[in-house]
A and B are shown apart, each in its own frame.
Chain A
Amino acid sequence: MATLMTERKRSALTRGRLPRYTPYVIAAAAIVIAAALMSLIGFNVFGWAVLSAVLFAAGNVISAAVVEGRRKATDKFATSLVVGAFLIALLPLVSVIWTVLVNGVPGLLNPGFLSSSMNGVTGAVDNASVKDGTPVMGGVYHALVGSVLITLWATIISVPVGLLTAIYLVEYSADNKFSKVITFLVDVMTGIPSIVAGLFAAAFFAMILGPGTKTGFVAAVALSVLMIPVVVRSSEEMLKIVPNELREAAYALGVRKWRTIVKVVIPTAISGIASGVTLAIARVIGETAPLLVTAGFASSINMNVFAGWMSSLPTFIYTQIMTPTSPSNADPSTQRAWAAALLLIILVMLLNLGARLVASLFAPKTGR
């Protein structure tokens, strides 16, 4: 083997490159300069951080432009923009979660918040609890019950319709005209504003049962309009990835098509379908607008979705903020609203995590 060439000390490959410690130097300089500038115009930590970041990015880009050339500078500029945009995006999102946590935790920990309704909680009660400094009365039990029942009924309506439609599209339609129409309309439905779905259900039941019909079931129908396309979409995707070999294997054994679907295709795809349904539930349980126009507002527990107004977590939050129970002392209502918001977020997150869990639990078992 030929003798190896020895490594050159001053590499041609690093010529015209900034030394590796450059970013650290620039970062230190940016922080110091930013602190100095901030002390001139009034110091605050947030402004300091922002100014430091901007100076750091500018320093990086300029030093690259001077030493390493236009291409490197452009690359660093793009990197600064992308990373900067990401940090900017984090701000409101962190702020939302922080606000909800800070404002929501006290109310949620309030004894009785989960187990009592707003029945009998009037402005006078709130005024008294503010005056005497006693714990805030009232809770979300009725709203929680309403949310669960309405979502349950929406699921009962949406899952069979959505799943059967997906089955039709994947297994029966053979891509005919009608299936194209359905696919198109499902896309259209995905884009229906939630308030319009609420209006539809309200208008529909107003024509059948007379104007002003507001029950939990009307709300469930409104949510179904939003939920069905999500279920169709996710189930369709899942059924499509079931390999055709499985179907053919079943047909070759003389199994009827519907038995093949029920016993072979759906079990194979069940994990994806179940997690899709869970995600759909997570989406509609937070819907507010359609409930406002279909279920009305209630302060007491109503277990019957077919009669009477019904409260739900999102509308509870909305009404507590917009029309505080005691107009002169809004604090108890605000506290209840944030606590309900925190509860709602926790529910949605649990459903999302549940969807992941379901997907891995029901995943088809491999031989190993």
Chain B
Amino acid sequence: MSTTKLVPKAGAGQAAKGRIGDKVFSGAALTAGALIVAVLFAVALFLIVQALPTFGAAPADITGGEGFFSYIFPIVIGTLIAATIALLIATPIGVAVALFISHYAPRKLAKGLGYVVDLLAAIPSVVYGAWGASFLASSLKGPYAWLAENAGWIPIFAGPASGTGKTILTAGIVLAVMVLPIIASLTREIFLQAPMLHQEAALALGATRWEMIRMAVLPFARGGIISAVMLGLGRALGETMAVALVLSSGPLIASLIRSGNQTIAAEIALDFPEAFGLRMHELIAAGLVLFFITLLVNMVARWIINRHKEFSGAN
């Protein structure tokens, strides 16, 4: 780095100019930081302001005619159902994929696989949605019909199964495919950081690979796994396109294999472009609810990460 030309001559004018430069620059940096704070408050503020008319409106004017709570409740539950399905599928598989890459795959392969997982996390959600709507939904029609016939006594598999396969379960599976790379790549990082020292200690005691992982890797990674799952949950809750394209929505129902249910994000994406007046305020209010739900989830995730950091600080 050539630094000689950076040295100002001892002239007073130069020094003053430098001082102004310092002030301007630090001021700009501070402003940028403040802008972020302002933007976030603006997000909350504008959403609240634009959502307010909803809460002032007569219950009969709200979609569904029974007030905002009756409107939002089913789609909140729908959002939670879809996200839960996604996590139930993606968590075990994602952690196993991470473990495969970090501790099972041949080392030469592992680096490439890690890269592939990162690339998959980058595929736009609308592509996953299109895949879910065209390929996955139609290939699940058969299994759904089978489930309705043979497991229909369980409420979540109650028939008649959807004829298009565009159900909340399909949407949940698409979400699972989308959050899987996120969970896998975050937990892989954690697994790779597990201290070699303790892994060697376990091996030297005559532990098998799995015993070594249980003794020296999983205890170390527990906090990291939980936070990765929480971040995946945040993503699944807020994901729009996969659901908007895949689900043929309807009222809240228990069956996962029939048309029906809806999520907040998909509701907004589907209706907002044509919405005006109260309907627009209503959708913004729904967005506000989604915002707070994901905020809560992310804050819990960060809290877990930070607590974990302190815990493992000694190592």
Query: In the complex, which residues 168-223 of chain B have their Cβ closer than 8 Å to any Cβ of chain A?
Result: 173, 177, 180-181, 184, 208-211, 213
Are B8 and A288 in touch, CB under 8 angstroms?
A: no
Kindly state the separation between the CA atoms of A257 and B20 in the bound complex, as whole angstroms. 11
Stretch in B65-73, B141-149, B154-162, B291-299 touching the partner: B291-299
Are B36 and A255 in touch, CB under 8 angstroms?
A: no
Q: Which residue of A lies closest to B134 (CB)?
A: A99
Contact pick for A89, options B93, B269, B291, CB 8 Å: B93
Kindly state the separation between the CA atoms of A352 and B122 in the bound complex, as whole angstroms. 8
Are A207 and B238 in touch, CB under 8 angstroms?
A: no
Kindly state the separation between the CA atoms of A262 and B210 in the bound complex, as whole angstroms. 50
Q: Which residue of B lies closest to A86 (CB)?
A: B100
Kindly state the separation between the CA atoms of A252 and B100 in the bound complex, as whole angstroms. 49
Query: In the complex, which residues 70-113 of chain A have their Cβ closer than 8 Å to any Cβ of chain B?
Result: 71-72, 74-75, 78-79, 81-86, 88-89, 92-93, 95-96, 99-100, 103
> Does chain B have a CB within 8 A of A240?
no
Kindly state the separation between the CA atoms of A207 and B46 in the bound complex, as whole angstroms. 9
Question: Chain B interface: which size bin?
Answer: 35 or more
- Least CB distance from B104 to A in Å reads 6
> Does chain B have a CB within 8 A of A33?
no
Q: Which residue of A lies closest to B273 (CB)?
A: A292
Q: A81 to chain B: which residues have CB within 8 Å?
A: 96
Contact pick for B122, options A75, A196, A288, A348, CB 8 Å: A348
Kindly state the separation between the CA atoms of A254 and B49 in the bound complex, as whole angstroms. 51
A255 and B6 in contact (CB under 8 A), knowing A165-B32, A165-B33, A341-B127?
A: yes
Are A293 and B96 in touch, CB under 8 angstroms?
A: no
Q: B120 to chain A: which residues have CB within 8 Å?
A: 93
Per-residue CB contact flags for chain B residues 269-283 toward chain A (1 = under 8 Å, else 0) read: 100110010001001
> Does chain A have a CB within 8 A of B58?
no
Contact pick for B299, options A89, A188, A249, CB 8 Å: A188
- Least CB distance from A232 to B in Å reads 7
A168 and B130 in contact (CB under 8 A), knowing A85-B100, A200-B42, A249-B3?
A: no
Question: Chain A interface: which size bin?
Answer: 35 or more
A195 and B287 in contact (CB under 8 A), knowing A79-B210, A89-B184, A164-B28?
A: yes
Q: Which residue of B lies closest to A189 (CB)?
A: B40
Are B302 and A187 in touch, CB under 8 angstroms?
A: yes
Are B46 and A203 in touch, CB under 8 angstroms?
A: yes
Are A345 and B47 in touch, CB under 8 angstroms?
A: no
Contact pick for A181, options B37, B177, B269, B284, CB 8 Å: B37
Stretch in A3-11, A47-55, A299-307, A314-322 touching the partner: A314-322
Are B29 and A96 in touch, CB under 8 angstroms?
A: no
Q: A89 to chain B: which residues have CB within 8 Å?
A: 93-94, 96-97, 180, 184
Kindly state the separation between the CA atoms of A275 and B127 in the bound complex, as whole angstroms. 24
> Does chain B have a CB within 8 A of A135?
no
> Does chain B have a CB within 8 A of A261?
yes
Per-residue CB contact flags for chain B residues 285-315 toward chain A (1 = under 8 Å, else 0) read: 0011011001101110110000000000000
Kindly state the separation between the CA atoms of A219 and B38 in the bound complex, as whole angstroms. 19
- Least CB distance from A306 to B in Å reads 20
Q: Which residue of A lies closest to B24 (CB)?
A: A258
Q: B284 to chain A: which residues have CB within 8 Å?
A: 199, 203
Contact pick for A293, options B7, B269, B288, CB 8 Å: B269
- Least CB distance from A249 to B in Å reads 7
- Least CB distance from B266 to A in Å reads 9
Are B131 and A95 in touch, CB under 8 angstroms?
A: yes
Q: A196 to chain B: which residues have CB within 8 Å?
A: 43, 47, 238, 287-288, 290-291, 294
> Does chain A have a CB within 8 A of B39?
yes
Are B47 and A317 in touch, CB under 8 angstroms?
A: no
- Least CB distance from A45 to B in Å reads 15
Are B268 and A195 in touch, CB under 8 angstroms?
A: yes
Kindly state the separation between the CA atoms of A34 and B200 in the bound complex, as whole angstroms. 40
Q: A78 to chain B: which residues have CB within 8 Å?
A: 209-210, 213
Contact pick for B36, options A182, A199, A200, A341, CB 8 Å: A182
Q: Tell which of A161, A168, A182, A186 has the most Cβ of chain B within 10 Å.
A: A168
Enumerate the 3 nearest inter-chain pairs by beta-carbon distance, A residue then B residue, closest first: A193-B238, A286-B124, A85-B96
Which residue numbers of A lie inside 8 Å of B, CB to CB?
A: 71-72, 74-75, 78-79, 81-86, 88-89, 92-93, 95-96, 99-100, 103, 160-165, 167-169, 171-173, 178-179, 181-182, 184-197, 199-200, 202-204, 206-207, 211-212, 225, 228, 232, 246, 249-250, 253-264, 267-268, 279, 282-283, 285-289, 292-293, 296-297, 314, 317-318, 321-322, 334, 337-338, 341, 344-345, 348-349, 352
User: Other than the known A89-B180, A167-B29, A261-B25, what 11 A-B pairs have Cβ atoms closer than 8 Å?
Assistant: A78-B209, A82-B96, A86-B100, A99-B134, A165-B35, A193-B239, A203-B49, A256-B22, A257-B25, A259-B6, A314-B126
9 contacts between A and B (CB under 8 A): A167-B29, A172-B30, A191-B231, A193-B239, A197-B43, A253-B7, A262-B25, A286-B125, A292-B269
